[in-house]
Amino acid sequence: MKVGLEFELNGVRVAAMVAPHKRLIDVLRDDLHHPGTKEGCGEGECGACTVLVDGRAVNSCLFPALEIEGRAVTTIEGLARPGARLSPVQRAFAARGGVQCGFCASGMVMSAVELLGDNPRPTDAEIRHALAGNLCRCTGYVQIVESVRLAADAVDEEQES
C-alpha cells in the first residue's frame, strides 16, 4: 500500500506516493525526476548517493523514503544558481580536476557542501576525514581535496561580496 509523502526538495514543496520499503534515492530518481543522485552500492559504503537532509549529509540509499516527510532535501540539482550557473563548490571541482568519470561527483560535492557549511576553513586532514565516506576509483582524491580547498576560498569570497 503506497503512502503519501510531502517534503521540500531543493527549496520547492513536492509530493509523492511511495511504497513503505522505498528509499529516498528511489523517490528522487524514479518518482521525482532527479537522477543526479547516483546509486553506487546500496549499502551505505560508497557515498555516491549522498544528499543533504536538513543540511546534513546522508546516504540516500539507506534513508527510508517515509522519513523524509516534512523535511528539506538538497540534491546536486539544487546547488546551481539561477541562469544555470554552477555553485562555487561545483565550479571548483570542474576547474581543479576533481571529476573524472563523474559517477561519484554528485555525492562528493554534497559531502563537500556539508563540510564547508560547518567548517568554512577546513584543514587537509579535516577534508579527508569528511570525505572518507565518499569512494572514488578514478582520481586518487588529490585533486578532489584541492577542489575543496579552492571551493573554501571561493565560498569565502562570495560571502564577502
Partner 1 sequence: MRPRRYIGEDHARPDSPDKVAGKAVYIHDMVRPGMLYGKIKFSEHAHARIVSIDTSKAERLPGVKCVITGANTPQVRVGFLRDNLALKRDRVRQFRDEVAAVAAIDPDIAAEAVDLIEVEYEPLPAVFDPVEALAPGAPLVHEIDPRGRPCNTNRLPLDYGHCTGDIDEARRRSAFVVEGDFSTPVVQQACMGTAGCIAEFDMSGNLTMWAKTQIPFLAQRDFNRALMEMGLPGNNSRVIVPALGGGFGTGLDTHCYEYIAILLAHASGHAVKVVYDREEEFAYLSPRQSARTHIVQGCDRDGRLTFRDVRVLQDNGAYASWGATYPTVMLVPITSLYTVPVVRFQAEIVYTNNTYCQAMRGYGNPEVTWAIESNLDDLAEAAGIDPFELRRLNCNRPDTTTPMGLKISTCGLDQCLDATGEKLGWAQRRAADRRTNGDKPRKRRGVGMASLIHVGGSGKIYKSDASGIILKLDDYANVNVYYGGVEMGQGLHSSLSLAVADALGVTPAQVHINETDTGTCPWDVGTHASRGAFMACNAAILASDKLRARIFQWCKQLYPEATDFDLVDSVITLGAANGPSKQLELAKLLRAIHFRDDGDMLTETVFYDPPNELPNWKTGIGNMSATYTFGTQGVEVEVDEETGDIEILRMVSAIDVGRVLNRQTLEGQVYGGIAQGIGYALYEEVKMHKGRILNPGFTDYKIPTAAEMAFPIDLVFVETDDAHGPFGAKGVGEPGLVPTAPAVANAVYDAVGVRITDLPITPEKVLAALAQRD
Partner 2 sequence: MPHYEYPRPTTLDQARELMAATPGARFIAGGTDLLVQLRKQRLPEPPALISLRNIEALASIHAEGEVRIGSGALLTDIAMHPAVRAHFPALVASIDALGSRQIRNVATLAGNLCNASPAADAAPPLLVYEARVEVIGPGGARAIPIDEFFTGPGQTSLADGEVVTAIAIAAPAAGASSTFMRKGRVKMDLAIASVAVLLQWDGTRCTRARVAAGSVAPTPLRLPEVEGMLEGSSLDDQTIERAAGLARAAIRPITDLRSTADYRRALVGVYVKRAIASLRGGAS
Q: What is the 3-state secondary structure (H, E, C) of the chain?
A: CCEEEEEEECCEEEEEEECCCCEHHHHHHHHCCCCCCCCCCCCCCCCCCEEEECCEEEECCCCEHHHHCCCEEECHHHCCECCCECCHHHHHHHHHCCCCCCCCHHHHHHHHHHHHHHCCCCCHHHHHHHCCCCCCCCCCCHHHHHHHHHHHHHHHHHHHC
Cβ closest to partner 1, residue 63 vs residue 88: 88
Q: How far is the CB of 139 from partner 1 (least distance, A)?
A: 5
Answer with the entry of partner 2, partner 1, none that 144 interacts with (C-beta below 5 to 8 A by kind).
partner 1
Q: What letter represents residue 84's amino acid?
A: A
Answer with the entry of partner 1, partner 2, none that 39 interacts with (C-beta below 5 to 8 A by kind).
partner 1
Our CA dihedral for 30, 31, 36, 39, rounded to 10 degrees, sits at: -40
**Which residues, numbered 5-64, are part of the site for partner 1 (CB under 8 A)?**
29, 35-43, 45-46, 48
Cβ closest to partner 2, residue 42 vs residue 156: 42
| Binding interface with partner 2 (CB under 8 A) | 3, 20-21, 42-44, 47, 50, 53, 56-59, 62-64, 66-67, 69, 111, 114, 130, 132-134
- Considering the rule CB under 8 A, would residue 102 count as an interface residue with partner 1? yes
Cβ closest to partner 1, residue 3 vs residue 70: 3
- Considering the rule CB under 8 A, would residue 127 count as an interface residue with partner 1? yes
Residue numbers of the site for partner 1 (CB under 8 A)?
Answer: 29, 35-43, 45-46, 48, 75-77, 79-80, 86, 90, 93-106, 109, 124-125, 127-129, 131-145
